[in-house]
Structure 1
């Protein structure tokens, strides 16, 4: 979504985003899971391999963010937002959510609002080597103060109150 205009009919889904993440992870049984069980089971199948990766390539970012905003259950969106935070940084994830909130379809705006709080979960050293005491990570990747300020201005603007 980020930077694109789209209507509801053209919008991706949790299933398509999860299938893309599974494809990128090279998970063998994607077709079988899709045919018999659907998006939630496929999300479960990709969770562990996502968290086991120290790095994710750039091609993971968009499908992870689509899965985040299209997951109807804010508890399960953690399965996608957590690896995105570790791999791409809090600043980029929150900026993508802000973009969805400002320019997304109704479903994307609702998803961004539903999952905003998950973008602020604590990042732990035991989940990713760069956060360990001996690890190194550019602090700018996780500095999201400016994005948070924009979110708060957007979310409390006079034309948004009551919605």
Structure 2
């Protein structure tokens, strides 16, 4: 995920994010990006914002061995509603800090 965060090209960082989503699950990827947003440098926060978009790639069973032979996958790997809410809150706090300066 660090490579995705540091990649300045918003479309190229997908090459790092998409395999991570398939291998580790959307939840884990988004949680890592949230950590970068909350505690990273300005450059890391900007990179996390770019990579966040890529973390929403549609998942297809035929593109990953992370799926069982029947095409199923543990839904907990990709459950991310709570992480998305935390992301929105962190963005709001960040915007409020920027407006205070």
Coarse TM-score class (shorter-chain normalised): 0.7 to 0.9
RMSD: 2.1
Gapped regions of structure 2 (runs ≥ 5): none
Q: After TM superposition, what 4+ stretches of structure 1 lie above 2 angstroms from structure 2?
A: 129-133
Q: Specify the alignment match of 2:5 in structure 1.
A: 69
Equivalent residues, number: 99
Q: CA deviation at 1:129?
A: 3.6
Alignment of 1:47-126 (within 5 A): 65-126=1-62
More relative contact order, 1 or 2 (CA 8 Å, 6+ apart)? 2
Using structure 2 for the length normalisation, give the TM-score: 0.87
What runs of 5+ residues in structure 1 fail to find an aligned partner? 1-64
Q: Structure 1, residues 111-130: CA drift from partner, whole Å, max 9, x if none?
A: 00111111011011221144
Q: Which has the larger radius of gyration?
A: 1
